[in-house]
Structure 1
Amino acid sequence: MKRWDLHCDALSKMILASDIRFEDDRRLDVTAKRLKEGGVQLQAFAIYVPEAWKGRPFDAVLASVDAFEQRIASRPDILPIRSKQDIETLMRPGETRIGAMLTMEGADALEGNLAYLRIAYALGVRTLGVTWNVANWAADGVREPRGGGLTAAGRRLVAECDRLGMTLDVSHLSVKGFWDVLETSRHAPIASHSNAKSLCDHPRNLSNDQIRALIAANGRIGITFVPYFLRSDGREAGIDDVLRHLDYVCGLGGADHVGFGSDFDGIETWVKGLEHPGGYETLAERLEKNYTSEQVEGFLRRNWLSYYQGRFM
């Protein structure tokens, strides 16, 4: 049974170290070798602007795309995913390549210029997280004290994403921004890497109302493997904690709307047994003991697959 993972930060490491190689580099959580070990069929690679690139944000986007193209997508075992046709190719019987899709974490790098958004889309970016934790020109992030929503420019950004077919990602977005996106966009957004706030009271997690709203809109939620988004007592997180959050979202009616977004390479502590994509094999075994085969297929792949089949133009 193949797996889809909708968030990792390997590219931000790769643009800081030109000698990192994707095949099997100990500096990366996500490598080609580990994706194969874990049976990952599609991995989303987020473009994020590291602190060292803050003065040249769109240059960081271009450097990330170049790293993706030269060091990941150029490999014979990788299939870049940009269209519905690419997904259909990925799903053909006997296809062994791993799908790789570009996303962007935070609209900061677009510098308020919708031409940059269109360029990013032309270069293969298919999902846009509106913010990281702090405020930018489009909206406030979850760590911005004022808690504002979309700006006027942010509303124009949403409209252009709708026109292009760019999926909006509400992970990291302020609570007001979350509701603004649901109200403003014609399309259901995703939360690519967020958990249940009722189980772990962290600002990056989603309230029951937010989870229900994403479900009602036919959006998707990616349970993430960030230990301090899984439990708030400081104790070591394990696969049981991942299952707890998955169970909770299912209990709110989200069995057909939940998948995984690991945040590998964006974390410095790991869930025991899920330290890299190879751990998906263990996670799948645990899921199979608790859910039907159809449900497990949904969590690991089909829920993301059905969403993007409907979103790609």
Structure 2
Amino acid sequence: MKHRLIFPTLSRIILSANILQGAGDNMSQTTICDLHCDTAINLADGKGIGGQQAKSQVAPEKLTAGGIGLQVYACWVSPKYRHRKAWDRARQLIAAAKKEISDHPSELMLVSDKKSWQECRKNNKVGIMLAVEGGHVLDGDISRLDSLYDQGVRILTLTWNNSNQFATSAYSAHKTGLDKGLTPLGRKLIARADKLGIHIDLSHSSEKTFWDVLKTSRHPPLLSHSCVKFLNGHFRNASDKQIKAVSDKMGLMGINFCPAFLGDKHKPKSVESVADQFEYIKELAGTDILAIGSDFDGIRETPEGLDGPDKLPGLIRMLKSRGFSQKELDDISLNNTLRFLGWQ
């Protein structure tokens, strides 16, 4: 397929402010899922990923204002934590996320399956789903996956920037030129995750790891917070071939808001840049694959007009202005994720 580059026209730029305000529409009533934020770090430490003092981009009032129905809290463990300390850090972050939920019982609820999700919606709360980012927290001990499951974790990002005992990361492959993919121990991990019902997130995984997991796992693939390599050649982004493979296997791809991953690196990033990602994938593989994976509280800068979950309805309006149907918008906002999880 011959692809066209997508750039905002002058008329789009002029209309952007009005679209984001959304006067007279019902986008604020849309229920939205965000597949990835790193807020647990702020909750535990009062600091962001870079170690800077940070006012969280995600807070209960912002989730409610944005119409968020389901938010995945990723518990990211820095590779500076090793062995037992990495495991203890993961448990600390999980505990911090759960404390946030217990501190806001009228707004938030932990969800881990279809039953809890339905109860959450019935009570008009924001569902919080737990993920762990970085397989190194297991320190090669697959039995710890069972413990994570028992603590409510339903997503494991196989690698972060660092490779581990299970797989090669995209960053490591980029820096060293060596990509060993999934290890024999990694194959055992995938088998156990499949049996438990933990979804393996391939954001941050190397290309060979990606393909190895697709050959090994019985579950549809997940890229919770990734972008399009055709629009920006960053090593973290997914190729057209990978995107099509995720679509072919009924998987899911949440679009990341990190400016470094979006479009031309020399141009400022805005909600238009994020919309470009959705539009490109719609043309390439359809909309059934698409979701939101903001990476809020894991990125120091955000695209203009998208600095928190309360601004996500503006993104939905932008997609509507580009010709996405109401069904496509509903699917991207929530239904694709529910289908992927088996919660519909």
Give the Cα separation in 1 of the matches to 2:320 and 2:102. Answer: 32
Question: What amino acid sits opposite 2:273 in the alignment?
Answer: D
Q: Secondary structure at the match of 1:82?
A: coil
TM-score by length of 2: 0.84
Describe how 1:36-51 pairs up with structure 2 within 5 A: 36-50=64-78
**1:85 is aligned with what amino acid?**
K
Q: Any idea what SS the aligned residue of 1:126 has? A: strand
Per-residue CA deviations over 1:232-280 (Å, capped at 9, x if unaligned) read 4232101111111101111122311101000000111110000111111
- What letter corresponds to residue 86 of structure 1 in structure 2? S
2:120 is the alignment partner of 1:90: yes
Report the residue type matching 2:141 in the other structure.
N
CA contact (8 A) 2:42 2:54 kept: no
Query: Is the contact made by 2:199 and 2:222 (CA closer than 8 Å) also made in structure 1?
Result: yes
- Distance in 2 separating the partners of 1:309 and 1:74: 29
Structure 2 counterpart of 1:255:
287
Contact 1:221 1:259 in 2 (8 A): yes
CA distance in 2, matches of 1:33, 1:15: 19
More displaced, 49-58 or 282-291?
49-58
1:54 Cα offset (Å): 4.1
Structure 2 counterpart of 1:124: 152
User: Post-superposition shift, 1:165?
Assistant: 0.7
Residues 10-21 of structure 1 correspond to what in structure 2 (within 5 A)?
Answer: 10-17=39-46
Once superposed, what is the RMSD of the aligned Cα atoms?
1.7
Instruction: Please name the residue that 2:62 is paired with.
Output: 34
1:81 and 2:111 matched: yes
Residue 305 of structure 1: aligned partner: 338
Which residue of 2 is the match for residue 277 of structure 1? 309
Is residue 165 of structure 2 the alignment partner of residue 133 of structure 1? no
Does residue 265 of the first structure (1) align with residue 300 of the second (2)? no
Provide the residue aligned with 1:293 in structure 2.
Answer: 326
**Separation in 2, partners of 1:74, 1:252:** 43
Name the SS for the 1:143 alignment partner: helix
Kindly indicate whether the alpha-carbon contact (under 8 Å) linking 1:219 and 1:307 is maintained by their aligned counterparts in 2: yes
Q: Which runs of 4+ in 1 moved over 6 A?
A: none
Report the counterpart of residue 6 of structure 2 in structure 1.
none
TM-score normalised by L of structure 1:
0.93
State the Cα distance separating 1:211 from its structure 2 match: 0.2
Match of 2:248 in 1: 216
8 Å contact kept, 1:225–1:271:
yes
Q: Does 1:2 align with 2:26?
A: no
> Does the CA contact (< 8 Å) of 1:78 and 1:98 recur in 2?
yes
Structure 1 runs not aligned, ≥5 long? 19-24
Q: Which amino acid aligns with 2:329?
A: V
Shift of 1:72: 2.5
* Secondary structure of residue in 2 paired with 1:252: helix
Contact 1:202 1:232 in 2 (8 A): no
Distance 1:36 1:69, change over 3 A: same
Give the Å deviation of 1:162: 0.6
Distance 2:134 2:264 in 1: 25
Task: Report 1:194-233 matches (<5 A).
Answer: 194-233=226-265
Equivalent-residue separation in structure 2 for 1:7 and 1:73 (angstroms): 20
Q: Give me the identity figure in percent.
A: 33
Contact 2:193 2:200 in 1 (8 A): yes
- Contact map agreement 1:129 1:170 (CA 8 A) in 2: yes
Structure 2, unpaired ranges of 5+: 1-29, 48-52
